[in-house]
Amino acid sequence: MNWLTVERKEEIRQYLSVKNFKKIFRLLAPYVWRYKMSYLAMIVMLLIGIGVTLAFAWFMGNVIDAAINGNFERLRFLLIIGLLLVIYQIVSNFVWTYVETTSMNNIKKDLNQDLYAHILTLSSSDLNKDHSGKWMSHFTNDIHSVNAVVGSGLLNLIRFPIMITAALIYLMSISWKLSLISLSVAPLAIVAGAVFGLLLKRNGTIIHETISELTKKLNDTFHGMTVIKSFTLENLFHNQYRKQTEDLYRLELKEAKIQGTFYAGGQAVASLTFLASLLMGAFFVSQGSITAGMLLTFVNLVNLLVSPLTGFAGQWAGYQRSMTALERVVKVFDQTKTAEELPFRKDVIQISQGIDVKNIHFSYQEYSPLFQDLSFKLPAGQVTAFVGPSGAGKSTLFQLIMRFYEVNDGSIELDGKPINEMDVAVLRSAISYVPQDTFLFSGSVEENLKIAAPNATFEKMVQAARDANIHEFIMSLPEGYQTELGERGVRLSGGQRQRIAIARALLKDAPILLLDEATSALDSETEMLVKSALQRLMKGRTTIIIAHRLSTIQHADQILVFKEGQLVQAGTHAELKREGLYKELIQADQFTQRSIQRQDVI
Ligand SMILES: Nc1ncnc2c1ncn2[C@@H]1O[C@H](COP(=O)(O)OP(=O)(O)OP(=O)(O)O)[C@@H](O)[C@H]1O
């Protein structure tokens, strides 16, 4: 059989397997358990509901028989029963919808919060492995599958077998011969259902992947809008997006076709079975083996039996499709957390000796080591500058000092204590990081500054802004410190953002300062404002600067020159300027050279 390729066999094996259940139920069990009373209520309602459905079949048959026999006493009794059944159904429909919706939303809310928290504790290397659009799609897409997996989908998977068994027993008690004839379609229904189920699952999995790709594209579009516009990529992006949405449309259409065929087929099977049972039943009635009422009960029961039979495979397929989405969520939870609890701000510690980088080895990818046996010291209270060509590893050293990544071997010590033995929150509370380009959150200027010290007084915050030379600018904004920043608010220039970052660092008042000097040149006035703000910030702190413009670091206590992960020179500007890579770097920067020469003369 050619069509039964290895991949197909694997696909069928996965479709029939319940192995994935374990993983997903292990993830969801605690959430379900949290709302156990709701589940208990739903299972009780489900069982009563099956009883009520069967009772309706019984009710109709009995009404007919009582009417034929002119038994009005019994009809009155049956009327009361009928009314009670209807009232129960109305009430239970309401209660069911309410209980199911609240428990599902509660579970989704809890899972959402835990997923968010888990992602916040993942290591930078794990986070960088996936596109941010993919991370987003776990929230916007995958998590909603919870409904199908532990909501109505799961309850239907419980309901159907019970319903089938109960209806079958009831049918047999009326007429086993008629039951066997009616059931002859069952194997066909099961096989057809299974095939359609597999098709639905396959298509559904691709739909989830396509949605994830679409989210990635949208994310890239919004983050890269400037690049898109400056390279006039609008048309190209639109074409790519159009293709992706058309692919999604085709897949949804295919799903609709499979589902339509499946439901129509199920309907045909159910109708044919109904007709066959009715005709055979009529014959049995004419023979006097069953009453007309029993026939009515019987055909109703056949319906109750066949629809779950044909529907079961569809449910199974939908279930598996949702499981595929949740599997992606499980994979996120399977990634090791870097901390048991979410780090929170700790009191700032003081440092006396400084940072000692001892024989560290580090690589992002196993096959290309970046640092091998690298050692140097960063004395407390001194200014150290990292210089070197692009890709030398300067930013990576910042990442290692802040423990965004862990060293593979060797250690980085703070006051003699390896940082990987320190509470990461304590370590990071001791460091102010001023990046090249500061991220501003949606919110006011005040909120953006106070992320560094939420309890700081307004006066202290204003003082920090003054020291960062940004207060005047903030006051010129329409609502001063209450002006909205971020995507929907005021946009700041590079120099202004940098001074906001400096104000944040001043407010945080940490003993270690990691400063990634902006690469883009600022105009001379702004540069002066930034420089004087930085002077104030660096005072009394153990400072490490990644220097892109060498003119700024001539007064550094030590300069470390890196090349391809190796420390090639170390010393002061005066010691290093006449030789080696440092000299080459100075020569490469004509502007810097001139400015240094001028100062040398002075
Ligand atoms: N997240 C990452 N995953 C894999 N490799 C990385 C990652 N970040 C940096 N690298 C690689 O590590 C090396 C050092 O990069 P790093 O950013 O530390 O250099 P740098 O000296 O700061 O350069 P620049 O001055 O251009 O910022 C480079 O080869 C870079 O490609």
| pLDDT, tens digit (0-9, with 9 covering 90-100), for 477-504 | 888 999 988 665 567 888 888 889 889 9
User: What is d(CA 304, CA 54) in angstroms, rounded to the nearest whole number?
Assistant: 8
Ligand 1 atom nearest to CA at 562? 21
* Per-residue model confidence as pLDDT tens digits over 307-330: 777 777 667 767 777 887 888 899
Helix (H, G, I), strand (E, B) or coil at 74: helix
Distance (Å) from CA 389 to ligand 1 centroid: 11
Q: Is 394 in the pocket of ligand 1 (CB under 6 A)?
A: yes
3-state secondary structure string, 126-148?
HHHHCCHHHHHHHHHCHHHHHHH
Q: What is the mean pLDDT of residues 512-540?
A: 76
Strands 409-414 and 417-418: antiparallel
CA of 443 to the centre of ligand 1 (A): 31
Q: Is the CB of 71 under 6 A from ligand 1?
A: no
pLDDT for position 596 = 43
Q: Which of 374, 394, 544 to mutate to test the pocket of ligand 1 (most atoms within 8 A of CB)?
A: 394
- Position 561 scores a pLDDT of 94
Q: Residue 137: is its pLDDT beyond 90?
A: no
Q: What is the mean pLDDT of the chain?
A: 85
Residue 411: what pLDDT?
94
Q: What is the pLDDT of residue 240?
A: 94
Phi, psi of 367 (to 5 degrees): -75, -15
> Does ligand 1 come within 6 angstroms of the Cβ of 390?
yes
pLDDT tens digits along 424-452: 889 998 999 988 888 888 889 999 999 98
Pocket probe for ligand 1: among 395, 401, 549, 564, the residue whose CB has the most ligand atoms within 8 Å is 395
Maximum Cα–Cα distance for the chain, whole Å?
124
Compute the average pLDDT of residues 192-211.
82
Q: What is the pLDDT of residue 436?
A: 82
Tell me which amino acid residue 465 is: A
Cβ-based neighbour number of residue 98 at 10 Å? 12
> Rounded to an integer, what distance in angstroms lies between the CA atom of residue 407 and that of residue 127?
17
Q: How far is the centre of ligand 1, averaged over its atoms, from the C-alpha of 565 (Å)?
A: 10
Give me the mean pLDDT over the 104-133 stretch: 90
pLDDT of residue 490: 67
pLDDT of 601 > 50? The answer is: no
Question: Nearest-CA neighbor of 315 among 207, 208, 200?
Answer: 200
Q: Give the separation between CA 33 and CA 19, rounded to whole angstroms.
A: 21
pLDDT-derived band at 45 (thresholds 50, 70, 90) equals: very high
- Per 3-state DSSP, the chain is made up of helix, strand and coil in percentages (nearest 5) of 65, 10, 20
The predicted structure's pLDDT at residue 432? 92
How would you label 344-364 residue by residue, b for 16+ Cβ within 10 Å and e otherwise? Answer: eeeebeebeebbbbeebebbe
Report the pLDDT value the prediction gives residue 313, as an integer from 0 to 100: 65
Any ligand 1 atom below 6 A from CB of 364: yes
What is the C-alpha to C-alpha distance for residues 211 and 92, in angstroms, rounded to an integer? 36
Inform me whether the pLDDT recorded for 123 exceeds 80.
yes
Ligand 1 contact via 395 beta carbon (within 6 Å)? yes
Q: Comparing 281 with 102, which gets the higher pLDDT?
A: 102
CB of 267 shorter than 6 A to ligand 1:
no
Task: Calculate how far, in angstroms, residue 514's C-alpha sits from the geometric centre of ligand 1.
Answer: 17
Q: Quote the pLDDT of residue 105.
A: 93
3-state secondary structure 223-267: HCHHHHHHCCCHHHHHHHHHHHHHHHHHHHHHHHHHHHHHHHHHH
Ligand 1 site, residue 370, Cβ cutoff 6 A: yes
User: Which residue stretches of 543-589 are H helix?
Assistant: 573-576, 580-588
CB 530 within 8 A of CB 470: no
Helices (H), 146-185: 146-150, 152-174, 176-183
Indicate if the pLDDT at residue 597 is higher than 70: no
| Contact between 201 and 209 (Cβ < 8 Å) | no
List, in sequence order, every residue forming a beta bridge with 408; answer none if it has no partner.
Answer: none
Q: Please check the confidence at residue 30 and state whether its pLDDT lies above 50.
A: yes
Stretch 6-26: mean pLDDT: 74
Instruction: Return the pLDDT at 230.
Output: 85
Structure tokens at 298: 């019987």
DSSP string, 267-288: HHHHHHHHHHHHHHHHHHHHHT
User: Per-residue pLDDT averaged across 296-311, rounded?
Assistant: 81
For residues 378-398, give the mean pLDDT. 92
Alpha carbon nearest to ligand 1 atom 16, residue:
393
Q: Which pLDDT band holds residue 3 (cuts at 50, 70, 90)? A: low
Q: How far is the CA of 359 from the centre of ligand 1 (A)?
A: 19
| Ligand 1 touching residue 128 (CB < 6 A) | yes
What's residue 407's pLDDT? Answer: 93
244 C-beta neighbours (distance < 10 Å), count: 17
Short-list 398, 600, 416, 601, CA closest to 517: 398
Ligand 1 geometric centre to CA of 396 (Å): 6
Distances in Å between the alpha carbon of 252 and those of 211, 215, 565, 598?
Answer: 11, 17, 50, 70
Q: With 90 as the cut, is the pLDDT of residue 539 above it? A: no
Q: Which residue has the CA at smallest separation from atom 9 of ligand 1?
A: 396
Q: What is the pLDDT of residue 321?
A: 74
Instruction: Tell whether ligand 1 has an atom less than 6 A from the beta carbon of residue 391.
Output: yes
Give the residue, 217 or 493, on which the prediction is more confident.
217
Judge if the beta carbon of residue 116 lies within 6 A of ligand 1.
no
Query: What percent of the chain clears pLDDT 70, i.e. is strictly above it?
Result: 93
User: CB of 561 closer than 6 A to ligand 1?
Assistant: no
What does pTM read for this prediction?
A: 0.79
| Residue to mutate, 130, 364, 371, ligand 1, most ligand atoms under 8 Å from C-beta | 364
Does 205 or 378 have the greater pLDDT score?
378
What pLDDT shows up at residue 298?
86
Q: State the distance from the centre of ligand 1 to the C-alpha of 394, rounded, in angstroms.
A: 8
Atom of ligand 1 nearest to the CA of 565: 14
Q: Is the pLDDT of residue 158 over 80?
A: yes
Identify which of 405, 325, 317 has the alpha carbon closest to the alpha carbon of residue 145.
325
Assess whether pLDDT exceeds 90 at residue 362.
yes
Q: How far is the CA of 395 from the centre of ligand 1 (A)?
A: 7
For atom 11 of ligand 1, the residue with the nearest CA is 391
Q: What is the pLDDT of residues 65-118, one digit of tens each?
A: 999 888 888 999 999 999 999 999 999 999 999 999 999 999 999 999 999 999
From residue 291, give the alpha-carbon distance in Å to each of 82, 203, 272, 287, 365. Answer: 20, 48, 22, 10, 78
Bridge partners, 434 (sequence order): 515
Query: Using a 6 Å cutoff on CB, does residue 392 contact ligand 1?
Result: yes
pLDDT for position 600: 44
Domains and CATH numbers, the chain: 6-33+106-334 (1.20.1560.10), 343-430+510-602 (3.40.50.300), 439-505 (no CATH)
User: Which of 173-177, 288-292, 306-310, 457-461 reaches the highest mean pLDDT?
Assistant: 457-461
489: Cβ contacts below 8 Å, ≥ 6 apart: 442, 483
pLDDT (0 to 100) of residue 84: 94
> Can you tell me the mean pLDDT for 197-224?
86
Which ipTM did the prediction report?
0.96
Q: Tell me what percent of the residues of the chain surpass a pLDDT of 90.
A: 37
